[in-house]
Structure 1
Amino acid sequence: MASSYKIPSSEPQLLPVGTGAEARNVAFVAHPAGNPGIFWLPGFMSDMGSTKATAVAAWAAARGLSSTLFDYSGHGRSSGAIETGTIGRWLEEAEAIFTKLTQGPQIIIGSSMGGYISLLLLRKLLRDRPQDAARIKALLLIAPAWDMTEELMWKRFPDDTRHAIMADGFFRQPSAYASPYMITRQLIEEGREHLLARKPFDPGRPVVILQGLQDADVPASHTQELKTFLTGDKVKLIEIADGEHRLSRPQDLYLLFSELAALL
């Protein structure tokens, strides 16, 4: 189990991303070792110190594999305020970390919003940087919150919440995991520029999806729908009957690493 692994010790470093008013420092930890490497994309309001992130880094280290973890701006050790965060900004940061700091073949693991950004990153690299896209050998997605800002936020919000977002520019959404989430009008509106929008998309490499059937944040039906427009024959959906959103129990991590080992 993950608890027996030795987690590599390394202080986060900072990568400058953006210019002018958009400049921010993105904190990352890179553990160089063998390939393929593991590239971790965290969820909304999560960071690289989470249970799953540290377990992934430890698992990789125990097998002599490299791993790269980072915090989105407004999260963890990175600069910036969560109020300025958008899907586009976080996608830009993921692309910068991936293209500038990783080498050789990589397996991307994305949790919740990180699963969504994993798909956006692959789509963007296939279009703009095919040589970097070719280094992505597989995606392992945990409760992927595709089109999160529209499908899981805006469309599910009651009218009074939508009104607050439009009138005040933000809404503090209660969370079962941490302090209330700051949902801004900018997050919602900018998110519409990055929707998968149910358009057929062939990842062109294996995609393994882990989904808890007791997940209240990213419902199983949402993930099942994702599988209908990810084309090709390399998408595998594994549903965990008693699994909730985080999927960070020992048995969940065991399943995660079993699937990761199979991809390797």
Structure 2
Amino acid sequence: MSEYLETPAGRRIAFQRSNGRGPGVVFLGGFKSDMTGTKAAWLHDWARQQNRAFLRFDYSGHGDSSGSFEEGCMGDWFEDARHVIEALTDGPQVLVGSSMGGWIALLVARALPQRVAGLVTIAAAPDFTEQGFWAGFSDAQRQTLTRTGRIELPSEYSDKPYVITRHLIEDGRRHLVMTQPLHLPFPVRMLQGTADADVPADWAVRLLDHAAGDDIRLTLVKGADHRFSSPECLALIGQSIGDVLA
């Protein structure tokens, strides 16, 4: 059953948490996903079996939280995550960031390093609004976006298209992590499938090269796709969290 937290910006954020020992685990979901997804639900059960505190939530415009997805942007979703972590957890947490959640986890780590015990990323998509969407748009698409403020892209995960807004792109440029130093002074485990059609495996290699830290490892899983939700992939997520906690 979801509970709700009001942010300073007036957004109503849906969350679910379970008590347990610390450091707790916080799951940060992906673009247009919610906390009922396979990985979030699996982690909820995993944390309960481990007697580990766990928190999952929906960004504004996602799932049961307030707001419109199309009006949202990285700055809003980062603020949502930061406020949820500060208000609902105690002490350092292990952040588990999937896809866009990997980018948000890196933003949280940069802003609140004292509240991060470790980081596990799953197909992390740092700066995807720029190096994914904008870089992949044709000149005609860029002109349409600039002129009308929005563009629709087909989604393989839904019948409805993705609506990408100019606001999303422009705000994303204010939150880039691959264009400036990225210090991660805690254990980091990055997981990436080689058959991921949404986040190329070379993004993971570039993030590994770019980030500075004494304990950062990347695991490539041959044949795994962007969902990274097979039993073997889910087990690897749990193993990676355990590795960070150890």
Instruction: Please classify the TM superposition score into its range, dividing by the shorter chain length.
Output: over 0.9
1:242 is displaced (CA, Å) by: 0.6
Partner residue of 2:154? 174
The equivalent position to 1:121 in structure 2, one of 108, 127, 130, is: 108
Shift of 1:227: 1.0
CA contact (8 A) 1:36 1:66 kept: yes
Query: Contact 2:96–2:102 (CA<8 Å) still a contact in 1?
Result: yes
Asked whether 1:50 is paired with 2:37, we answer yes
Q: In structure 2, how many angstroms separate the alpha carbons of the residues matched to 1:193 and 1:263?
A: 30
The match for 1:238 among 187, 210, 219 is: 219
For residues 186-224 of structure 1, give each alpha carbon's deviation from its aligned partner in whole angstroms, at most 9, with x where no partner exists: 000011110113323121001100001111111011111
Q: Which moved more, 1:154-163 or 1:33-42?
A: 154-163
Compute the displacement of 1:134 (Å): 2.1
The residue identity in structure 1 corresponding to 2:166 is: R
2:193 match? 212
Matched, 1:161 2:128: no
Q: Distance in 1 between matches of 2:132 and 2:239?
A: 29
**SS at structure 1 position matched to 2:207:** helix
Q: State the one-letter code of the partner of 2:108.
A: L
Q: Which of 117, 124, 129 is 1:149 aligned to?
A: 129
Alignment-mate amino acid for residue 18 of structure 1: P
Counterpart-to-counterpart distance in 1, 2:35 and 2:120: 17
1:58-97 residue pairs with structure 2 within 5 A?
Answer: 58-97=45-84
Structure 1 residue 168 displacement after superposition = 1.3
- Distance in structure 2 (CA, Å) of the matches to 1:95 and 1:64: 24
2:236 is equivalent to residue 262 of structure 1 = no
User: Please, which runs of 5 or more residues in structure 1 have no aligned partner?
Assistant: 1-10, 126-132
Question: How far off is 1:165 after superposition?
Answer: 1.2
Shift of 1:141: 0.2
The SS at the match of 1:110 is: strand
Q: Which runs of 5+ in 2 are unaligned?
A: none
**What is aligned with 2:176?**
195
Aligned letter for 1:106? Q
Partner of 1:6: none
Query: Structure 2 CA distance, aligned partners of 1:258 and 1:102?
Result: 22
Measured after TM superposition, the shift of residue 147 of structure 1 is 0.6
CA contact (8 A) 2:188 2:244 kept: no
Measure, in 2, the Cα distance between the counterparts of 1:13 and 1:172.
32
Aligned partners of 1:79 and 1:41: how far apart in 2? 17
- Determine the C-alpha separation between the residues in 2 that align with 1:35 and 1:196: 28
Alignment of 1:10-49 (within 5 A): 11-19=1-9, 23-49=10-36
Offset of residue 240 of structure 1: 0.6
- Measured after TM superposition, the shift of residue 105 of structure 1 is 3.0
Aligned to 2:98: 111
What's the TM-score, normalizing by structure 2?
Answer: 0.96
1:140 corresponding residue in structure 2: 120
Encode CA deviations 1:35-59: one digit per residue, 9 max, x unaligned: 1211010000000000000000110
Q: Does 1:99 align with 2:86?
A: yes
Counterpart CA distance in 2 for 1:24 and 1:202 is 30
CA distance in 1, matches of 2:204, 2:179: 12
Matched letter for residue 171 of structure 2: E
Q: Is the 8 A contact 1:198 1:229 kept in 2?
A: no
Q: Deviations over 1:43-77 (max 9, x none)?
A: 00000000000000110001111100000111000
Moved over 3 A (4+): none
Q: How far did residue 104 of structure 1 move?
A: 2.6
